[in-house]
Structure 1
Amino acid sequence: MSSSTSALFSPIRVGSIDLQHRIVLAPLTRFRAHADHVPSPQAPAYYSQRGSAPGTLLVTEATFISQNAGGYDNVPGMYTDAHVEGWKKVTKAVHKKGSFIFLQLWALGRAAETAVLAKENNSPYVSASPIPLPGKPDIPHALTTEEIKEYVATYAAAAKNAIRAGFDGVEVHGANGYLIDQFIQDVSNQRTDEYGGSIENRARFALEVTDAVVEAVGAERTGFRISPWGVFNGTCMTDPKPQFSYLAEQLRKHKLAYIHVVEPMPAEITADKNSDYLRDIWEGVEGSTFISTNGHTRNSAIETVDRKGGLVGFGRLFMPNPDLPFRLLKDIVLERGDQATWYMNGNLTSAGYSDWPFAPENGQQQISRI
């Protein structure tokens, strides 16, 4: 189908915001923040470039909700006034382009690097259960019920800080084997209390976090990301469908802005391995939508939106193509990028980050409304 007739380039309402197309910047960890987790001085340019097509939805790189929730160097945070002030520069730049931006809320759990935890705050190494990350010797401390409640409150506090910083909403990171996903998945959760042992109990932490965030900032400002088929950080249940069906059914009741699903890679999608069962659950939620992410091309994005609706997230293609919505609309050849610049820990320059040019067809780096 041609771009001129594809729904990929048509408006859609998500929560309380009106987008002009269905192309989303998916979260991309870049390790470009200051040592104190204040966003890079290049971050306003980086994000505003990717929001240069008015009415674009951007989701930030995963951002720590607290010092204890961290465990990586050079990742931004949202738990100090300095973080709020740093992010204000980003949201202001994005809004000046006429686009919208959600902050992704992150806690690492057993994916954290223990040396970084020790260096920063001597923070505890935690997870749902005392099960080490595959390939790592460290055994995490299983969070107590009281500690879980503290994490729930911390997510809500970070969400409030995000709104104070000017964000249009927040995305709860419940994917890719990080703390919330460690509770959801039976491969990392062997608890026997109210947070483990059954589908309902394994979903409890995720749902309590969602309850708290929704109460703090509103359902229309809240999204949730999951990766049912993911294998990162030692995840991958034998059959994820019952667990994630229940989770989606419960999340649906909130009428969130969206659910963001990391799909299997396109070559891995089969009749049994896909996310259509989640679309079926989510369908019909007024004001909410479904974001599909993972390895999409222009053609697969057009096919997905035209056949199934919702939005499509792009990650790696957005790195070297800051004007990706324009390029996809006009079917302009895409830059493939330089993998060596994906992760440049602590590099506060524009190199490989905010120095990628717009397509020459854009003229003076301005993109008209699409």
Structure 2
Amino acid sequence: MAPLTLQRTGEEAVQTALGVEYYQQRATPGGRITAKATNITPTGRGSWGSPGIFASEKVEAWRHVAKAVRDKGGKMFLQLWHTGHIGPPLNQPGGILPVSSSSKLETIRAGKKIVTREERMEPVPLRALETSEIPGIVADYRAAAENAIAAGFYGVELHAANGYLLEQFLHDGINDRTDRYGGSVESRARFLFEAVEAIFESLGSSKVDTRLSPFGSSFGDKDSDPIATYTHVLERLNDYDLAYAHLIEPRGY
């Protein structure tokens, strides 16, 4: 079963008994479920009501979900999510600005509204990540993957699609950086592969997959040459023993 985001965890981003029931109903012997998009850090939360995996109480809550699926003979992966510029200040601790590869606003599609605790809001101004901040987010991905395994998941899916943070670096339609994370496709893909490498170092083979949307344009996030970009990405991913690669077909999202 593919990941389906349900905004049912409230302000605390803690999975509930409803989540246990939801996944238990869908588990089958030998089946594989990828859990909903789950925040790796409180500062990467795009939608209010989405769950997290960055604190002990969140890990414990997910443990009940993973056990319910295992008890029915299924395997479960957790999708690791940082939304980048999609998260409005109302969803961020202290009301901070969301971050991305770039601070330019003309690339962000107007009218794509985000769920907050008060209302649906259009995207807001954002801040470009400093080069020195990126290793910290890579560490967040690794810690989230380790927390997922501690919660009883079989593996993790690295969300690098649908206009979220890793794709905001991959696509040259928004990434206009001049540091080692911008410019050539090799440089734009650097963040993604640093995250992949960090997770593989911890989890090992066959417990990691990645989600990609080569022809997507979510939130105005486009690439000028998706064939070249994703040929490079997929050829590089062949160097790893992925569980699989999850690709989204061309569509509006």
Deviations 1:291-337 (A, max 9, x none): xxx9xxxxxxxxxxxxxxxxxxxxxxxxxxxxxxxxxxxxxxxxxxx
**Aligned counterpart in structure 2 of residue 99 of structure 1, from 56, 70, 74:** 74
**TM-score by structure 2 length?**
0.91
Letter in 2 for 1:114: P
Match of 1:261 in 2: 247
User: What is the letter of the counterpart of residue 122 of structure 1?
Assistant: G
In the TM superposition, what whole-angstrom CA distance separates every residue of 1:129-167 from its partner, at most 9, and x where no partner exists? 112222256332111111101000000000000000000
Q: How does 1:214-253 map to 2 (within 5 A)?
A: 214-253=200-239
3-state SS of the aligned residue for 1:160? Answer: helix
- In the alignment, structure 1 residue 128 sits paired with structure 2 residue 104: no
Task: Tell me the equivalent position of 1:46.
Answer: 22
Deviation at 1:219, TM superposition (A): 2.6
Cα distance in 2 for residues equivalent to 1:237 and 1:58: 30
| TM-score, normalising length: structure 1 | 0.63
Q: CA deviation at 1:33?
A: 1.1
Q: How does 1:183-332 map to 2 (within 5 A)?
A: 183-265=169-251
Contact 1:68–1:121 (CA<8 Å) still a contact in 2? no
Cα distance between partner residues in 2 of 1:157 and 1:50: 28
1:93 Cα deviation after fit: 0.2
Letter in 2 for 1:64: N
* 1:6 alignment partner in structure 2: none
For 1:220, what is the secondary structure of its paired residue?
A: coil
Cα distance in structure 2, aligned partners of 1:31 and 1:96: 25
Contact in 2 for aligned 1:228/1:236 (Cα 8 Å): no
Structure 2: how far apart are the matches of 1:98 and 1:123?
42
Give the SS at the match of 1:39.
coil
Q: How many residues align?
A: 240
Letter in 1 for 2:130: T
Residue 32 of structure 1 is matched in structure 2 by: 8
CA distance in 2, matches of 1:114, 1:131: 17
The whole-number CA distance in structure 2 between the counterparts of 1:238 and 1:148 is: 24
What is aligned with 2:60? 85
Rg larger in 1 or in 2? 1
Does the residue aligned with 2:77 lie in a helix, a strand or coil? Answer: strand
The residue aligned with 1:66 is 41
Q: Aligned partners of 1:122, 1:69: CA distance in 2, in Å?
A: 12
Q: How many percent identity over aligned positions?
A: 41
Is the contact made by 1:110 and 1:178 (CA closer than 8 Å) also made in structure 2? yes
Q: Distance in 1 between matches of 2:97 and 2:17?
A: 30
Q: Secondary structure at the match of 1:207?
A: helix
* Structure with bigger RCO (C-alpha 8 Å, 6+ apart): 1
Residue deviations 1:170-229 (CA, integer Å, cap 9, x gap): 000000000000000011100011100111001000000000111121131100000001
Which residue pairs with 2:117 in the alignment? none
Q: Give the secondary-structure state (helix, strand or coil) at the position aligned to 1:61.
A: strand
**Deviation of the 1:124 alpha carbon:** 3.6
Query: Which residue identity is paired with 1:61?
Result: K
One-letter amino acid of the structure 1 residue matched with residue 2 of structure 2? A
Equivalent-residue separation in structure 1 for 2:205 and 2:101 (angstroms): 26
Q: Which amino acid aligns with 1:216?
A: S
Shift in alpha-carbon separation, 1:30–1:200, aligned structure 2, 3 A: same
Runs of 4+ in 1 over 6 A off after TM superposition: none
Establish whether residue 170 from structure 1 lines up as the match of residue 143 from structure 2: no
- CA-CA distance at 1:237 after TM superposition: 2.0
The reply to whether residue 55 of structure 1 matches residue 30 of structure 2 is: yes
Task: Report SS of the residue matched to 2:78.
Answer: strand
Instruction: Give the CA deviation at 1:55.
Output: 0.7
Are the structure 2 counterparts of residues 153 and 238 from structure 1 closer, same or farther at C-alpha, using a change threshold of 3 Å? same
- Structure 1 residues without counterparts, runs of 5 or longer: 1-24, 269-293, 295-370
Aligned-pair CA distance for 1:263: 1.2
Look up the equivalent residue of 2:7 and give its one-letter code: F
Q: Tell me what 1:116 maps to.
A: 91
